[in-house]
Amino acid sequence: MSPSTKKYDLVVAANRLPVDRVEGPDGEVTWRTSPGGLVTAMESVMKGSDGAWVGWAGEAGEAPEPFTADGIRLRPVGLSDAEVAHYYEGFANDTLWPIYHDVIVNATFHRYWFSAYERVNRRFAEAVCEVAAKGATVWVHDYQLQLVPAMVREQRPDVRIGWFNHIPFPPVELFAQLPWRRRVLEGLLGADYLGFQRVADAQNFVRACRQLLGLPTRADVVSVSRDDDARRVRASAVPISIDFKGLDELARQPETEARAKEIRESLGNPETLLLGVDRLDYTKGIGHRIKAYGELLEEDQVAPPREVFVQVATPSRERVAAYRDLRLEIEGEVGRLNGEYSRIGAQAIQYLHHSYPRPEMAALFLAADVLVVTPLRDGMNLVAKEYVTCRHDGGGALVLSEFAGAFHELHQAFICNPHDIEGLKQTIMAAIVTPEKEKRRKMKAMRRRVADHDVQRWAARFLENLEHAPERPERSTSEREADEAHATADRRARELHHARGPRGRH
Ligand code: ADP
Ligand code: F6P
């Protein structure tokens, strides 16, 4: 059978393929790893399986022919210029993204954006049905493809359909703003199982079905109609992770260790190297972090070259106005602080607007004494887990926002509320000055957590939930304990917010 007619027992559909097509000025085509956590996680899952990945190649135009990259069979979906603008930059990233991230910036609503979203979701569903073998498992990803589950079910009742949300699912009060809220919920209810990062996300979804669609719900299960024998869909938390073993091995390589040393030397061997690594996205709280660091510089609590801050800000969604504005704001502020506090040979903040190969990222993590992760809202934040994984030497400290999904697992981090600038400053200073022994204790516990809950375990749990849905699969004692710990962290986060209000003190 030729690869283009072959059918697959596992089909993954995500907005992006794991590689983006890049055409150079002379027409030469190269493929480069796509940005973001979804690709980081799913690439390692798919490498070991005989499955197909349906997705967009990252450039407007006709879909390239299906091909194989790094052992993964890829089935590209084409998007026209207008569809990139209306479906991807518009509805996905200027309507859904703000609503699903606490409306940090206002959401924009256009009916023609939703039409494009519907049309592109239909195209993805058709591509999935084309490559799925009879009875296949179809795993749909993220907010860009919420209509796909119902569209696939319409054509292929024989397949098993799961969907995983890499970002938060909003409380019903925010979700209700969406003019197409019914369509989105009905689209998702085409799945057999829906996976979310946090317990609260799954609960928000179930509540939205009850309140906005009037559907019967029981614990984490929604009935798709009021009939007694209605199909039932389960929604629960299954937090994503990373390839601990692969990254740990990379970080231990002599080349990575040598490069980490070289990075520190080139920065003047600071006593403390602080690092931020984020897509340049307004959800990541980069501005809050830089404001706090700027005040620490002003108060002389930190000063280069004793302390140096490196901010890697990966280019992202650069044609969306809110992202362009953010870039101007961040670069303006970094320039102002460097003008004020740098000296010749001693820069206060190093700002890098680039993507790097994985070995370079591992070396950066290994070199950093403190990683500062301050999202205002984030589904998980894999960067936090990557940092912990790279610190095989047991060193380093993690400052982590309570609004990142990772907070629910990495309890031993230096926890902060990024809206509370005074508190954030104190937390950064605590991460710098806490005795080494105490920091090592924290790092050890966090490493154990990530090692035990790696991406393979995440994928296995998701697929097991999908297989048994709407029932819960039998879980071992340690799995049940992990679920309970997660639910407790979720409850604790909500109690924390009740106690001091969502914005904290300034
Ligand atoms: P998101 O999915 O919102 O981008 P995550 O923190 O979950 O956020 O995942 C980001 C992923 O992208 C991580 O695997 C991280 O290592 C990678 N990454 C971030 N910045 C860069 C960069 N400048 N170069 C290469 N990889 C990067
Ligand atoms: O997890 C959220 C997400 O949109 C993913 O789908 C993707 O991994 C990442 O952020 C990067 O976003 P984009 O594909 O828009 O560059």
230 contact partners, CB below 8 Å, separation of at least 6:
216, 223, 224
User: In the block, which residue shows the tokens 């990966």?
Assistant: 314
The answer to whether residue 107 scores a pLDDT higher than 50 is: yes
Tens digits of residue pLDDT in 183-218:
999 999 999 999 999 999 999 999 999 999 999 999
Nearest atom in ligand 2 to the alpha carbon of residue 16 is 14
Mean pLDDT of 83-92: 98
CA of 166 relative to ligand 2 center, distance in Å:
8
Tens digits of residue pLDDT in 264-289:
999 999 999 999 999 999 999 999 99
Look at 23-37, 239-253, 395-409 and tell me which has the smallest mean pLDDT: 23-37
Q: Using an 8 Å Cβ cutoff, are 379 and 168 in contact?
A: yes
Q: How far apart are CA 320 and CA 80, in angstroms?
A: 17
Q: Using an 8 Å Cβ cutoff, are 288 and 419 in contact?
A: yes
> Looking at ligand 2, which residue's alpha carbon is closest to its atom 12?
36
Q: How far apart are CA 438 and CA 397, in angstroms?
A: 10
> Looking at ligand 1, which residue's alpha carbon is closest to its atom 19?
278
Mean pLDDT of 220-247: 97
> Looking at ligand 2, which residue's alpha carbon is closest to its atom 8?
36
User: Does ligand 2 have an atom closer than 6 angstroms to the CB of 316?
Assistant: yes
Nearest atom in ligand 1 to the alpha carbon of residue 354 is 23
> How confident is the prediction for the chain on average, in pLDDT?
94
The answer to whether residue 18 scores a pLDDT higher than 50 is: yes
CA of 37 relative to ligand 2 center, distance in Å:
7
Look at 59-63, 232-236, 370-374 and tell me which has the smallest mean pLDDT: 59-63
The CA-based angle 377-382-385, given to 5 degrees, is 115
- Nearest CA to 334 out of 361, 320, 313, 318 is that of 313
Q: How far apart are CA 410 and CA 30, in angstroms?
A: 38
Q: What is the pLDDT of residue 347?
A: 97
Q: What is the pLDDT of residue 40?
A: 82
Q: What is the pLDDT of residue 494?
A: 64
pTM of the model: 0.94
Q: What is the pLDDT of residue 70?
A: 83
